Structure 1
């Protein structure tokens, strides 16, 4: 029923916006109108675009980018955009339908283009023998921003996309990107130093869904999750029981709650396994403005602080 409703809604959107004409290069008397699919990507566009760009996001802070149900307002944002930024790698499964429905002719920049993707992990291949209970059809992990090195690629793609639609301010975009890349370099040094301080035997974490594969591969923490790389489906009782057994067997120190997820399942896992609840981490979305993860840089530093507090002995 819900799927039928979404299809009907998109058909209506097509009638409303299907006749939108081509979008020309941004005029000189106003900022470029950019649309980003989710809050983390929107922040990166703001960092590069500065005062020359206004940014609207389709999925806002503390919201899940995996499962957007598009609305007429979303289609209107795309129809009015000068440029659109998407993550790619299968994150926005709803995007192709929405872009067709909107009728926009704005160029679409895939921010992750050039990133080397990692496979979606078999998130339920537990050591006690429970295998093959995957939830979702992702061939690759879409959460590439969890490795700071990949965000350098995002920034370069954003810079080049903005310069193409607004060549008058290309130098400003290049300068802003260079300054932000320096901040990313400093962030990555801090991430590596923080993880190095955690004893190797304690570098194990339980999170709600498998959003930290790139972080794990780059920085040496191990993450276990009851859900896969998408939040579209719930972990089964069998999956949860297997994870509880694994936590007990390996003495995993901490369980972390994600800002985009219902905390009840993870609270159950912590209660039944004896693992400590290590606080909130930010995986797929920023916090609200004024919160601890209102920008990408703040998100990564907030997560580091939570990992350090829960995993350091003492």
Structure 2
């Protein structure tokens, strides 16, 4: 299990802090807290899948030159510990999910009741899908940056405070919108099991033919079960995740008669010109897609 390294490092007073984040959503959160003081590089970029990511030598060089490294943890980046060792980096590593309220990764797709307080070995890694957890990520990022760059502690604290106000407004917006969707229609299908925290926080239920990692493949029995469930429960919509091959979900929509509800963003942001260039925009883009398909 990857743990936060608390040893401070010297940061240049005049230069920008070089921060490396493992994937684009986390990179945006680091950028929001660090502001202009921090230069952020994301190893796994927009519209890319961190589950199946294969690091290249350039990624090791990025880590070697970093002042600080931010990872999600909870087993999300199965490749990160090997990459850190290979890079020889001496930068402190901050696990952004270290204080997140976790749920179990193995769960009944049709059951709203999750196991809370799951161990890291069995936790669903997609904790950022709850805005309350995203705020805990922000706190971990703030503390990590302050630890290596103490002269700018007040800046990081103010950036985190201002951003958390925006997250509070986002959380309220999601709750209000979901309340406006008839309860009987609050069920949808997505590629893999990445929205468990969204279900737990907001009551919109997700069913997925794949598990919590996109590397697990859905077999014919899984697909047949999902199609039967859609027909029996009259599940209104099937959504394509931005990181996934669309063919499986297109097949499920075609054979079940459910509406193909468009693209949603689970594990990665869109590019800068897309609908989800940052975390808040991503959550709002998903919310619009859900409302339009289900409302």
TM over 0.5: yes
| Residue number among 249, 255, 264 corresponding to 2:238 in the alignment | 255
Aligned to 1:203: 186
| 1:117 counterpart = 2:102 | yes
Q: Is the 8 A contact 1:67 1:94 kept in 2?
A: no
| Paired position in structure 1 for 2:166 | 183
Name the counterpart of 2:146: 163
Show the counterpart of 1:75: 60
Q: For 1:78-112, what per-residue CA distance to the aligned partner results, in whole angstroms no more than 9, with x for missing partners?
A: 00000000001110111110000000010000000
Higher mean C-alpha deviation, range 261-270 or range 64-73: 64-73
Match of 1:101 among 75, 86, 99: 86
Q: CA RMSD in A?
A: 1.6
What is the CA distance between 1:123 and its match in structure 2? 5.5
- Structure 1: give runs of 5+ residues left out of the alignment: 1-21, 127-136
- Write the mapping of 1:198-277 to structure 2, written as runs, cut at 5 A: 198-277=181-260
SS in 2 for 1:40: helix
Matched residues in 2 for 1:200 and 1:302: separation?
21
Q: Select the structure of larger CA radius of gyration.
A: 1
Consecutive unaligned residues of structure 2, counting only runs of 5 or more, are 1-6, 112-119
> Structure 2 residue aligned with 1:294, among 270, 277, 291?
277
What's the secondary structure of 2:166's corresponding residue?
A: helix
- Output the TM-score relative to the length of structure 1: 0.87
- Matched with 2:46 is 61
CA deviation string 1:260-304 (max 9, x = no partner): 000000000000000000110000000001210000000000000
Cα drift, residue 116 of structure 1: 1.9
Matched, 1:49 2:34: yes
Aligned length: 281
Counterparts in 2 of 1:183 and 1:46: CA distance versus 1, 3 Å:
same
Question: Structure 1: how far apart are the matches of 2:45 and 2:36?
Answer: 20
Shift in CA distance, 28/155, structure 1 to aligned 2, threshold 3 Å: same
